[in-house]
Structure 1
Amino acid sequence: MSPWAGAAAGMVLLISHWVAYEHGRSVELAQAGQQSAERDSGDRLAEVIGERSARLEEHRSADAQQEARVKGHEERTTADAGAADADAAGQRLRSDAAQLAAAVSCPSTDTAAVARGETATRAAMVLSDLLTRADARAGELAKAYDQARIAGQLCEASYNALIK
């Protein structure tokens, strides 16, 4: 065997080992790249699912808040109608009280009866005025209470829609 043949055989052996090493390295890099791509794909999928879930929750919350606003508007409309009815009833009551106060006086020739009639008329007018003021104030308080109650319920419903 010639010295060149031994060197050539050593060279062939060295090149075959180097080719095997490079092949193994390229296979390893390809597997690592595939694993990385699979992991990234899973991460993206989880992100998309999370975003979709968050959007669905936002829509549910917005729908619940809109429903609460509609219900609050309906309650305000009902309360306003009730207040208008109460105002009309109060106006009738005040009118009846004023008519009663005007009717209390009785014309007479007896001066004592006339004086009693004037006193009764003044007392009836004072009571009628007190009734008018009390009824007006009660109407204002009822309206304020209704508005505060409805606003509180709307706030509570909106809050509950956010935390559910």
Structure 2
Amino acid sequence: MAWGFWGTYQHGRSTMDAEWQARWAVRDSGDQQAWALAETKARSEEQRRAAAQEEVRSNARGQEYTAAAGADGADAAGRSLHDEAARYAAAAGKCAADSAAAARGQAATRAAMVLSDLLARADARAGELAKAYDRARIGGLACEASYDALANRSPDTTR
């Protein structure tokens, strides 16, 4: 009789173990599916972010190229203006043969040369500041667009 109870007990244990193992297998299978779905979703989000970052970098490079081309054009126009001012300063000293007029012409030449030099310096500094501003603005907008892309927000199109 004891062997009968013992056999029934062992049979109940093995049945219960089989039930629990089946439940754990179902749970593990569900966990693996959830993990695979989460991994797929994370990879697609990572790819979306990488593509958005590359698009932002590409746009920033294009803006930098455009700004550099504009700066080169402004530099060329500035050089032309400086050359014209130097020619004007040189021509200011050419006066009549009158000695008083010649003295005034030399003074005018010196003043025109000083003003021409001042114009050249101011224009060069303005060009440097404009280039720095362009770089800072492009970098700031790229940073903002990058953040918006990573935060999955639509960029502000009112600017």
TM-score range, shorter chain: 0.7 to 0.9
1:1-164 equivalent positions in 2, closer than 5 A: 11=1, 15=4, 19-164=7-152
**What secondary structure is seen at the aligned counterpart in 2 of 1:128?**
helix
Q: Letter of the aligned partner of 1:155 in structure 2? A: C
Q: Letter of the aligned partner of 2:23 in structure 1? A: Q
Q: 1:6 is matched with which residue?
A: none
C-alpha distance in 2 between matches for 1:136 and 1:84: 12
1:143-163 deviation line (CA, Å, top 9, x unaligned):
111111112222222233333
C-alpha distance in 1 between matches for 2:84 and 2:69: 23
Displacement after TM superposition at 1:112 (Å): 1.5
Q: What TM-score results when the alignment is normalised by the length of structure 1? A: 0.84
Bigger mean CA offset, 99-108 vs 43-52: 99-108
Q: Percent identity?
A: 56
Displacement after TM superposition at 1:125 (Å): 1.0
Q: What TM-score results when the alignment is normalised by the length of structure 2? A: 0.86
How many aligned positions are there? Answer: 152
* Bigger radius of gyration: 1
Q: Letter of the aligned partner of 1:120 in structure 2? A: A
Q: Letter of the aligned partner of 1:64 in structure 2? A: A
C-alpha distance in 1 between matches for 2:104 and 2:117: 20
Bigger mean CA offset, 77-86 vs 108-117: 108-117
Q: Letter of the aligned partner of 2:128 in structure 1? A: E
Displacement after TM superposition at 1:27 (Å): 2.6
1:109-159 deviation line (CA, Å, top 9, x unaligned):
211111121121111111111111111111111111111111222222223
Query: Which blocks of at least 5 consecutive residues in structure 2 are unaligned?
Result: 153-159
